[in-house]
Amino acid sequence: MTTIGKSMQEAMNEQINKEFFSSYLYLSMAAYFEDKNLMGFAHWMRLQADEEREHAMKFYNFILDRGGRVLLKAIDAPETAWKSNLEVTEQVAEHEAKVTASINALYELALQEKDYPAQAMLQWFITEQVEEEKNAAELVAKLRLIEERGTAVLMLDHRLSKRSGEEEGDDEE
Ligand SMILES: [Fe+2]
Ligand SMILES: [Fe+2]
């Protein structure tokens, strides 16, 4: 039996695409850093890309659990080059702000449709986006502080290499 509404199903299919695009974008950023031999930055971006794929799968599973239909769409090609490390992190921050807006719009739809399971599920994403925006803002702030001074960039690179893949309490230290 299908318990998910048509417009919610469509909006969530759209969100699956956005999460996969995020994953693709961060993987492209990882490749960029790898090319610059900044392996810590690359490691951080790879984990970020993995997380975005997990986000996509949460929507995928949610649609299926409610007897809906998953319809995958083409993923846009991400950018492949940036002017500086700072520019990469600024784009992460901008991108996460867009994703937050789209999660909020989904929640708005869930309220309108009185779709309580979707509301409960989306709570997780609302909390996650606070974390995502915080992490991106921290990276931007650090890079603004150190600018592109080689030694400082390498120290940050070392720090980012310590990020663990755990869902909870990940990141830094
Ligand atoms: Fe995400
Ligand atoms: Fe994200």
For the segment 122-147, what is each residue's pLDDT rounded down to a tens digit?
Answer: 999 999 999 999 999 999 999 999 98
CA 23–ligand 2 middle distance (angstroms): 8
The ligand with the least distance to the CA atom of 19 is 1
CA 78–ligand 1 middle distance (angstroms): 15
Averaged pLDDT score across all residues of the chain: 95
Count CB neighbours of 39 within 10 A: 16
Tell me, what's the pLDDT at 148? 87
CA 51–ligand 1 middle distance (angstroms): 7
Predicted confidence (pLDDT) at residue 167 exceeds the cutoff of 90: no
CA 1–ligand 2 middle distance (angstroms): 32
The ligand with the least distance to the CA atom of 54 is 1
Of the listed ranges 19-23, 112-116, 148-152, the one predicted with least confidence: 148-152
CA 5–ligand 2 middle distance (angstroms): 25
- In the chain, % of residues over pLDDT 90: 93
CA 130–ligand 2 middle distance (angstroms): 10
CA 129–ligand 1 middle distance (angstroms): 7
Predicted confidence (pLDDT) at residue 169 exceeds the cutoff of 60: no
Which amino acid is present at 162? K
Side-chain half-sphere of 15: how many Cα atoms within 13 Å? 29
Q: Whole-angstrom Cα distance, residue 29 to residue 23? A: 10
The ligand with the least distance to the CA atom of 133 is 2
Tell me, what's the pLDDT at 165? 85
What is the separation, in whole angstroms, between the first and last Cα of the chain?
47
pTM score, two decimals?
Answer: 0.93
Predicted confidence (pLDDT) at residue 170 exceeds the cutoff of 50: no
Q: Which two tokens stand for residue 96?
A: 């996460």
CB within 8 Å of 161: residues ≥ 6 apart:
39, 40, 43, 44
Tell me, what's the pLDDT at 145? 95
For the segment 46-102, what is each residue's pLDDT rounded down to a tens digit?
Answer: 999 999 999 999 999 999 999 999 999 999 999 999 999 999 999 999 999 999 999
Task: State residue 39 phi and psi, 5-degree precision.
Answer: -70, -30
CA 59–ligand 2 middle distance (angstroms): 14
**Considering only CA atoms, which of 130, 78, 102 is closest in space to residue 12?**
102
Tell me, what's the pLDDT at 173? 37
Angle at 46 (CA atoms; ends 37, 43), nearest 5 degrees: 45
The ligand with the least distance to the CA atom of 15 is 1
CA 84–ligand 1 middle distance (angstroms): 24
- In the chain, % of residues over pLDDT 70: 95
